[in-house]
Each structure stands twice: as structure tokens, then as C-alpha cells.
Amino acid sequence: MGNFSLRRLFRSLLIPLLAVFSALIVGAIIMWLAGDNPVAAYKGLFQGAFGSARGWATTIRKWSPLLLTGLSVAIAFQAGLFNIGASGQFMMGTIFSVWVGINFTDMPAIIHVPLAISAGILGGLLWGAVPGILKVTTGAHEVITTIMLNYIAALFAGWTVYAGGSQGQKPGPLWDPAAKAISQTPPVVDSARIPFIFGPPYRVHWGIALAIITIFVMAWLIYKTTIGFELRTVGQNFKASKYAGIRVGWTIILAMMLAGALAGMAGAIETLGVNFKFAPEFGGSVGFDGITVALLGQTNPFGVGLAAFFMASLAAGGAKMQFDSGVSSDIIQVINALMLAFVAAPAIIRYIYRIRKAPEEAETTPKISWGG
């Protein structure tokens, strides 16, 4: 960050850009092989994302959860940890924020909204702390524990809104009786909803501003503070950081709590700004997308912001692409997967495009093994 130069900027953008380009090309080949028209598909995709005010609005709406889960995975990477648990932390953030959003009724929005978002952050933070604490105290690898915690969170969240069964099963504590057999929470009260920047039909809410501020906060935290320095040192050289007197255990727990907090915030913002309630099917692939975003952004907060914007545009344009060209929007997940592969293995990109590895170039992805 300090010694900024155009050449370095170009270097750091080269691999992600080539990864995106290659993924789009391979995606086109797959579409062509399957008998679809890739040109029409990409045209529809682009128009869906940027061809109209509504397209832009959808892109921006989908930007914040991707941005925050991307930051969540990225900050863990910075500390040498692999957070596959963003989706579970997102889920816990959602449940905590929805609980505050439906249970406090006499509260002005100026207090209620921040309180509900904070609750979501807390939910994610606590859920993120578990794998951190387990890793430090018992050595349990965070990849295994976060995958398991994702399922536990999803089942727990599912239980809270469970509508009960026909044989007299007890419904969950957050279930909305007005929804009858549907498992979902009641809508959060008006005072807990994040206000719109642009109201319906655009439905762009102020959560995106919060997400963008978070980029700067994270960049400051990672690159300008002692905590950030310790975090990166632990990530780059675990042993050396021990000898340097860094409290490694605490740093690991802190990194996981931060990662959890960011994913929890994503859940809160999505709930209070877009969905206004929780149902078990919400959340989807948000955790895995966060991994792609973080790597595409080379774990740099600003890079993550850009990568998230790009992936949000893909997600936003999918519906129009399917409508215009008849190409199933499921192809976007294929393209996401290919981007992940190409950006995570710069060797493939270097191999295809015959790029030499710069000597000063640091690996952006950590090397991880179960043993730890």
C-alpha cells in the first residue's frame, strides 16, 4: 500500500482479470457445447445488470452481502485461516437481527436499526469465535469445524422458524403463526428496516453505504493498525510471529471473530434491507460465493469490493439473461466456479497465457493442511 506504483497495480490486477476473462470464455464454450447461444447469453447478462436503472439497482442490492462475506473470508485468509463458515455466520447474523427486528416494537428507527444490525454482527461474531477458540485450545482445524458449524447453524435456524408438524410437533420460537404451515418468521417491524436510498421499484437501501464504509474500515484495520500487522504476520509466518512475541492464539480467535462479525453483518443487512424476514431457504450459496469474491479480490479489501461488484452484476443479470436468451441462469454458478479455479491457481493462468512469475510476487492464497 505504501509504495504505490502503476506497475504493481497492473501486476496485481492481471491474474484476476485474466481469470475472469478465461472463466467467461470457458463458460461460453460450455454453453456452445450444450447448444445454447453464448453471445445472446452474455448480451442478456450485461443488459440485465447494467442496461436499465432497475438492473443497476439489482446489482447494487446484491453487492453488499457478497462484499461483506467476501471481506469475511478475506480477513481470515490474511491471518492464514480458511473460513468456509461464512454461510453459518451469515445465518446466525440473520437469526439474531430478525429476533431484535420482531421483538422490540416501541423503538425509534434511529436506535432500532443499529441495534438490530449490531445483534446480527454479534451473532456472526459468536459463531465465528467457536472455530477460533476450538483451533487455539484443541487444534481442531477451522475448515472442518466451520463446515460442520454451517450445518448446525442451518439446522438451528431451521428449527427457530419451524412451523410445527401435522402430528403436533412444536413450532419453533420465531415462527410466524400467521404464516400457517409455512416455516418463516413474522416480518420485522418498520422501525427495524434499513431505509431506502431509492424506494420501490428499485429498493436500494442504505446497507450498501455501510458495506462500502466497512471496506475502508477493514483496509485501515489490516494495513494501518497493530492488530492488522499482527494478523498478517501470523498469516504469513506462524512460527516467526510466535518468536516476535505476538499473542498468536488471541490473534487467531480475533481474526475468526472479525470474519464472523462481517458475515453476520451481511446476514443482518440482507434481512433488514431486503427480505424483512427469515425463511430457511434464504442464504443460499453466500458462503461459497464469499470464497470466490475474496480470492478474486486477492484478499485486499478494495479488491474484494471490486470483485463483489462484478459477481453481483453476474447475479443481477442472470434473470434477464434467462428471459432473453433462454440460457438457464445456472450457468452463472459454473462461471463463478471457473473464476475461483483460475484465480486460485495462478499457475493455470500463467500456463495458458505464458506469463512469467514475478520474483517479488507473493502467494495470495494460504497453503493449508488439516494437521495445522
Partner 1 sequence: MSSPTRFKKTSLIALGIAIVLIIVGVIVNLLPIPDDSMWRVLFGVSTLNFTLRATIPLALGAMAGILCERTGIINIGIEGMMLAGAYAGFVAKVATNSWPLMPSLLFGVAAALLAGAAMGYIHALFSIKFKMDQIISGTFLILLAGGLTAYLFNPDMVAEGKFSPIAIPVLSKIPVIGDIFFNNPPITYTALILVAVLHVALFHTKWGLRSRAAGEHPRAADTVGINVNFYRYMNTTLGGMVAGLAGGFLVLEAVGQFQEGMTAGRGFISLAAMIFGNWMPFGALGAATLFGYTQGVQNALLLAGVVNIPRHFISMLPYVVTIIAVAGFVGRVRPPAAEGKVYETEGSSE
Of the pair 72, 118, the CB lying nearest partner 1 is at 72
Q: Which stretch binds partner 1 (CB under 8 A): 15-23, 58-66, 154-162, 185-193?
A: 154-162
Q: Which residues contact 307 (CB under 8 A, 6 or more apart)?
A: 16, 70, 292, 293, 294, 296, 297
What separation in angstroms does the CA of 260 have from each of 64, 71, 150, 276, 329? Answer: 16, 10, 12, 21, 30
Please report where in the chains the cell 497493530 appears, as a residue. 226
* Smallest separation (angstroms) from partner 1 to the CB of 3: 27
* Smallest separation (angstroms) from partner 1 to the CB of 104: 26
Rule CB under 8 A: say whether 367 interacts with partner 1.
yes
Please report where in the chains the cell 452484476 appears, as a residue. 313
Question: What do you get for the CA distance between the two ends of the chain, in Å?
Answer: 30
Which residue in 21, 56, 156, 302 binds partner 1 (CB under 8 A)?
Answer: 156
* Smallest separation (angstroms) from partner 1 to the CB of 283: 14
Rule CB under 8 A: say whether 134 interacts with partner 1.
yes
Q: Which stretch binds partner 1 (CB under 8 A): 55-63, 169-177, 231-239, 262-270?
A: 169-177
Which residue in 81, 113, 116, 143 binds partner 1 (CB under 8 A)?
Answer: 143
Rule CB under 8 A: say whether 319 interacts with partner 1.
no
363 vs 89: CA distance, rounded Å: 27
* Smallest separation (angstroms) from partner 1 to the CB of 351: 7
134 vs 146: CA distance, rounded Å: 10
Per DSSP, the three-state class of 304 is: helix
Per DSSP, the three-state class of 204 is: strand
CB burial string 80-93: b at 16+ within 10 A, e below: bbbbbbbbbbbbbb
Q: Which residues contact 44 (CB under 8 A, 6 or more apart)?
A: 317, 320, 321, 322, 323, 324, 325, 327
- Residues 260-289 binding partner 1 (CB under 8 A) are 285, 288
Which residue in 115, 279, 341, 355 binds partner 1 (CB under 8 A)?
Answer: 341
Q: What is the DSSP letter of 202?
A: T
Of the pair 235, 273, the CB lying nearest partner 1 is at 235
86 vs 305: CA distance, rounded Å: 17
Query: Does residue 131 have a cis bond before it (omega within 30 degrees)?
Result: no
260 vs 254: CA distance, rounded Å: 10
Which residue in 64, 87, 94, 145 binds partner 1 (CB under 8 A)?
Answer: 145
What separation in angstroms does the CA of 188 have from each of 48, 96, 159? Answer: 30, 12, 18
- Residues 19-38 binding partner 1 (CB under 8 A) are 30, 34
Q: Which stretch binds partner 1 (CB under 8 A): 103-111, 161-169, 251-259, 309-317?
A: 161-169
146 neighbors 88 (Cβ within 8 angstroms): yes
- Residues 72-101 binding partner 1 (CB under 8 A) are 82, 84
Of the pair 219, 335, the CB lying nearest partner 1 is at 335
User: In the chain, count of helices (H) and strands (E)?
Assistant: 14, 2
Q: Which stretch binds partner 1 (CB under 8 A): 107-115, 117-125, 137-145, 297-305?
A: 137-145
- Residues 172-231 binding partner 1 (CB under 8 A) are 172
Q: Which stretch binds partner 1 (CB under 8 A): 17-25, 43-51, 163-171, 216-224?
A: 163-171
Q: Which stretch binds partner 1 (CB under 8 A): 10-18, 94-102, 139-147, 211-219?
A: 139-147
Q: Which stretch binds partner 1 (CB under 8 A): 4-12, 43-51, 110-118, 145-153?
A: 145-153
List of residues contacting partner 1 (CB under 8 A) = 30, 34, 82, 84, 134, 138-141, 143-145, 147-149, 151-152, 155-156, 158-159, 162, 165, 167-170, 172, 285, 288, 291-292, 295, 328, 330-338, 340-341, 344-345, 347-348, 351, 365-371
